[in-house]
Structure 1
Amino acid sequence: MSSLAPFDFALYEAKLMNIAKNIFQPNQAPLETAVLVLDDCNTLSFAAAVDPMRATNRRAGKNLFRWKFFTPTGAAAQLTSGLSINGAPIAQAEGFDLLVMVAGFNLEAHATPRLLSSLRRLHAAGVAIAAIDGGPWILARAGLLDGHSATTHWEDLEDLATRFPQVDARRDRFVISPPFATSGGAAPGIDMMLHLISTRFGQGLARRVASAFLYDPVPLGTQRQSISATSRKIRRNPQIARALDLMEAHLDTPLSITEIAKRMSLSQRSLENRFRTHLNLSPHAYYLQLRLDEAYRLATDTSQSVQDIALATGFASQASFARAFKAGFGQSVRLLRRAQNA
């Protein structure tokens, strides 16, 4: 009597990767692409997924991407801007080379068993999956990113790392870990799509696509996500970039300016001069602005108490936080929330 050999899961995964990883290698064959749009994603992230494909076809003079829109259930996806995106149910998707998924807010609510099952099915069929903004969190929730490096929007990155320890969570703008590509938001999503265009269809075409947007792409692995919107020129100054990274990594337990300068092997005066030259602010003022910007985000995007927000942004007391917040934004957290919910 014959017996079946035990199922070799590692070999199965390797075969899947061999099917899908060619998406990220030179190949002039058109990519059949499914664009999955979830409720509560933002318009820029949606455009970051679609417009690079449109511009590629226009610049190439032929259809290198052919795409179709999908939503989790077939009902129109409602973007945060009020736009509606019509699409077929993702459960009906088949015959695609690439799935590009765009998500934004309320990720737990959108990670339904039906959606997660569809993502697993497409992965099992050898479909490469690129995810933008909150999309990587959904992939991790489906168990698909276990053993892979990935990123997501910085607001969700800590939750990704905590909830899914089998995922190598990185703060890079985008991460390629075949058959997956993940990005941290709209602009990093453009970088990720340009990387795909460059590796598959050639650097020249990717440059022409970037020039159509007047966009200066960031190469893979050269820049981390930042919670502050400083110019790329400033971020490319290695000493300023290092100082900003230290500040952003220590919002809850702020470093002294003296300690930041010491870690950078600079004098405090030298660090202060660089900040005033490049940012027109002192290091102390910039650091306080970062912490208050994060406090504003927590006040508007979460239900955390004022005390918890104060602790998360490095204020020694609730009273000192309240004074700084009112000085920075002209109102208290309570009044801000009241106006937001009115």
Structure 2
Amino acid sequence: MKPESPLFAADPRPLRVAVLVMGDTNLFSLAAAVDPMRAANRRAGRELFDWRYVSTSGGPVPLTAGFTIPTERMPEKPGDDLLMVVAGFRIMEQATPALLARLRRLAPQLRGMAGIDGGPWFLALAGLLEGRAATVHWEDLETFAARFPAIETRADRYVISGRYITTGGAAPCLDMMLDLIRARWGAELALRVAGAFVYEPFQTAAQPQQALPAARIARADPALGQAIARMEQGVEDPPAIAEIAAGIGLSQRRLEMLFADRLGVSPGRFFLDLRLDEARRLLTDTRMSVQEIALRTGFSGQATFARAFRARFGMTASALRRTTRPVARQ
């Protein structure tokens, strides 16, 4: 059950939304926040959402897709119900004391605030999420939890905690928006909006974020989905392939045939690549030592890790770290 939110309740009135677009925002995340509003208005045949784009100083804001979006200057006294902070990269650079102070001043004047993709960082840095539950993009979960111990960081797709909403990325934002439409104007309209995007809204808020779309895989082949889920859960202490197969009621040979048929690789290769991809993410997005990363991804020896990493990525872990800045999304 979600903590009560004044926004997620039946209400015939249009919802006024200010979308705060930060520089280098992911276009997909922005679209996931805005396009459901457009589709809801169109399918309902009336204005259910009234939104505008704002930024700290107004004017064009660059997106990661390579173009800009025009914005208004964010006012000190908005006439909006909801402020959505949509962000992607350069978070710490853009989280200026002036912006954080403005968010704190705006919070009491709004019915709700939402952080989309990198947006939860801004709400957290402003001190608005202390004592609350929140989520953030799965790549940032560990760093976020360590930085904000007073926040109950969850791996959920999206979290509603009182007046504050946080989502883990673009697809979870779309799920959250469909939930908002369902709560305010009914399940039929939410399904028609989902249908406009040829999207099947089968994810719940508390569904854990995953690096791989395991839920979709599971619908196509439940056994394969179960095997991948066990691999994702066992990155730090990897079970043997035979153990994974037995755990889902298959022989090792049958599991190998399943992976070869569906994914074109053996389960052992798939599992190793999954662990190495996680190691690469930890190298670029955290300040963990190479030795700690090796242990966190299930390698008992650093030499074994080094060989596997070089074979997959064509360079050593240390060389990769030298070419990137840790905590890249920030």
* 8 A Cα contact 2:223 2:248, kept in partner: no
How far 1:187 moved relative to its partner? 0.8
Residue 10 of structure 1 corresponds to: none
Q: Find the aligned partners of 1:36 and 1:93 in 2 and give their Cα distance.
A: 14
Please name the residue that 2:57 is paired with.
73
Residues 30-69 of structure 1, C-alpha deviations (whole Å, 9 max, x = no match): 1110001112221111111111111111111222111111
CA gap of 1:235–1:163, structure 2 versus 1, over 3 A, is farther
Q: CA 1:93 to 1:84, structure 2 compared with 1: closer, same or farther past 3 Å?
A: farther
What CA distance in whole angstroms lies between the structure 2 residues aligned with 1:121 and 1:241? 46
The residue aligned with 1:3 is none
Q: Tell me the TM-score normalized by structure 2.
A: 0.84
Q: Pick from 29, 34, 57: which aligns with 2:13?
A: 29
Aligned pair count?
322
Instruction: Tell me which residue corresponds to 2:328.
Output: none
Residue of structure 1 equivalent to 2:121: 137
Cα deviations across residues 47-92 of structure 1 (Å, max 9, x unaligned)? Answer: 1111111111111122211111111333533222222223233343
Q: Note the 1:39-54 alignment, pairs <5 A.
A: 39-54=23-38
Q: Is the 8 A contact 1:228 1:290 kept in 2?
A: no
Q: Which has the bigger relative contact order, CA under 8 A and spacing at least 6?
A: 2
Whole-angstrom distance in 1 between the partners of 2:234 and 2:262: 21
Q: Residue 184 of structure 1 is aligned with which of 168, 183, 189?
A: 168
Change (3 A) 1:127 1:221: closer
Change (3 A) 1:222 1:149: closer
Deviation at 1:93, TM superposition (A): 5.0
Amino acid at match of 2:16: E
Distance in structure 2 (CA, Å) of the matches to 1:73 and 1:274: 57
The answer to whether the 8 Å contact 1:90/1:115 transfers is no
Match of residue 312 from structure 2: 328
1:1-150 to 2 correspondence within 5 Å?
21-74=5-58, 76-150=60-134
**How far apart are the structure 2 equivalents of 1:34 and 1:340?**
34
Rounded Cα–Cα distance in structure 2 between residues aligned with 1:225 and 1:288? 20
- CA shift, 1:285, in A, is 2.3
Gaps of 5+ in 1: 1-16
Task: Give a deviation string over 1:125-162, Cα, whole Å, max 9, x none.
Answer: 13311221111122122221223222110111112222
Q: Which segment drifts farther, 140-149 or 250-259?
A: 250-259
Are the equivalent residues in 2 in contact too, given 1:34–1:93 (CA < 8 A)? no
Q: Is 1:196 matched up with 2:186?
A: no
Distance in 1 (alpha carbons) for counterparts of 2:207 and 2:54: 31
The 3-state SS of whatever aligns with 1:24 is: coil
Any idea what SS the aligned residue of 2:7 has?
helix
Match of 1:269 in 2: 252
Checking the alignment, whether the CA contact within 8 Å between 1:257 and 1:268 is kept in structure 2 is: no
CA contact (8 A) 1:174 1:188 kept: yes
3-state DSSP class of the match of 2:18?
strand
Partner amino acid, structure 2, of 1:248: E
Which of 143, 166, 177 lines up with 2:150 in the alignment? 166
CA pair 150-223 structure 1, distance change in 2 beyond 3 A: same
Residues 242, 73 of structure 1: CA spacing in aligned structure 2 closer, same or farther, 3 A cutoff? farther
Change in 2 beyond 3 A, CA 1:229/1:210: same
Deviation at 1:244, TM superposition (A): 3.6
Provide the rounded CA distance (Å) in 1 between the counterparts of 2:172 and 2:297: 25
CA contact (8 A) 1:56 1:205 kept: yes
* Structure 2 letter corresponding to 1:225: Q
Instruction: Report the CA distance between 1:328 and its aligned residue.
Output: 2.3
Aligned match of 2:208: 224
Distance change >3 Å, CA 131–CA 300, structure 1 → 2 = same
The code of the aligned residue for 1:87 comes to T
For residues 100-133 of structure 1, what are the alpha-carbon distances to aligned partners after superposition, in whole Å with 9 as ceiling and x for unaligned? Answer: 1111123222222222222222221133112211
2: CA distance, partners of 1:191 / 1:37? 20
Question: Aligned residue for 2:300?
Answer: 316
Secondary structure of the residue that 1:66 maps to in structure 2?
A: strand
